[in-house]
Amino acid sequence: MAVATRAHLAESTPAQVREVIRSGAWQGTTTGVAMGYVQANLAIVPHSQAFDFLLFCQRNPRPCPVLDVTEPGSPVPRLMAPGADLRTDLPRYRVYRHGELVDAPTDICDYWREDLVGFLLGCSLSFEAALLKAGVPLRHHEDGQRVPVYTTNIECRPAGIFEGPMVVSMRPIPAAQVARAVQVTTRFTATHGAPIHVGNPAEIGVDLERTEFGSEPVRFRPGDVPVFWACGITPQAVAMRVKPELMITHYPEHMFVTDLRDEEIATL
């Protein structure tokens, strides 16, 4: 099979993108694919921990906004993409055992079990499109980079066995457009919503030069203010803290593409 191109995938439907990924013809990031459709973070845990994890998400909706939860043992996200398979339809995964990253496979068929429950959590790609439409510049886009990501000193609200620090993404925003950026992202409560912090990185334990999870610092333009949004990588920080027997997540930037359009999950 021919290798797909990002330009082709940008104009494809979510079902087409997932089929290309499932076939192995695309193992890159999902940035810019199926433009206008909601992409999601993935976290998979055993059923015995599913209540605790769902409660963790419910108590921490900014980093972990729940879009869909599969039936135990089913890899099908019925609400977000009834024709999809969470075992094969992401380009790459991360497998954590007892808090250690042990594998980064392109499918998880070998890891799948009848007691696993999949959680799809909103991701920031949806609100980034809205920010661009509103005329708010995204510096990491301009420089062709991934969004920088940091672990903060903000503790999530614990639930059962799950606890850990909140992970955030940071975007430099021109001071005159910070308010607009808050307004635009507020509509996207299902994909992290409004910023959790504006300015003053040190207060949340962030050194802007010390990016994490494979991201790199982004260049500020004069007058830019650092604006922080909760990030769907938070469950991975939780896994590293709590060291559950098994947690499987998406690989950063290698997301699940749902059948919903961005505007369908916006409020107001």
Q: What is the 3-state secondary structure (H, E, C) of 74-135?
A: CCCCCCCCCCCCCCCCCCCEEEEECCEEEECCCCCHHHCCCCEEEEEEECCHHHHHHHHHCC
CB of 27 to a second copy, least distance (A): 32
Q: Per-residue string for binding with a second copy, 135-164, x by CB under 8 A?
A: ----------------------x--x----
CB of 94 to a second copy, least distance (A): 24
Query: Which pair of tokens denotes residue 8?
Result: 């082709």
CB of 265 to a second copy, least distance (A): 12
SS3 212: coil
Q: Report the distance separating Cα 152 and Cα 202, nearest Å.
A: 9
In sequence order, the 6+-apart residues with CB closer than 8 A to the CB of 142 are none
Position 267 contacts a second copy (CB under 8 A): yes
Q: Per-residue string for binding with a second copy, 233-262, x by CB under 8 A?
A: ------------------------------
Q: Per-residue string for binding with a second copy, 65-94, x by CB under 8 A?
A: -x--x-x-------x---------------
CB of 254 to a second copy, least distance (A): 25
Judged by CB under 8 A, the chain residues 29 through 58 that form the site for a second copy are 47, 50-51, 54-55, 58
Position 191 contacts a second copy (CB under 8 A): no
Position 184 contacts a second copy (CB under 8 A): no
Q: CB pairs under 8 A, 24+ apart, for 174-178?
A: 174/136, 174/137, 174/221, 174/223, 174/224, 174/225, 175/223, 175/224, 175/225, 176/223, 177/135, 177/136, 177/137, 178/225, 178/227
Position 198 contacts a second copy (CB under 8 A): no
Q: Are 54 and 66 in contact (CB under 8 A)?
A: yes
Q: Are 158 and 57 in contact (CB under 8 A)?
A: no
Nearer to a second copy among residue 54 and residue 260 (C-beta)? 54
Query: Which pair of tokens denotes residue 247?
Result: 């947690």
Nearer to a second copy among residue 79 and residue 208 (C-beta)? 79
The angle subtended at Cα 31 by Cα 28 and Cα 34, nearest 5°, is: 100
Kindly indicate which of the ranges 16-24, 63-71, 170-178, 244-252 contains the residues binding a second copy, using the contact rule CB under 8 A: 63-71
Residues that bind a second copy (CB under 8 A): 47, 50-51, 54-55, 58-59, 66, 69, 71, 79, 157, 160, 186, 189, 267-268
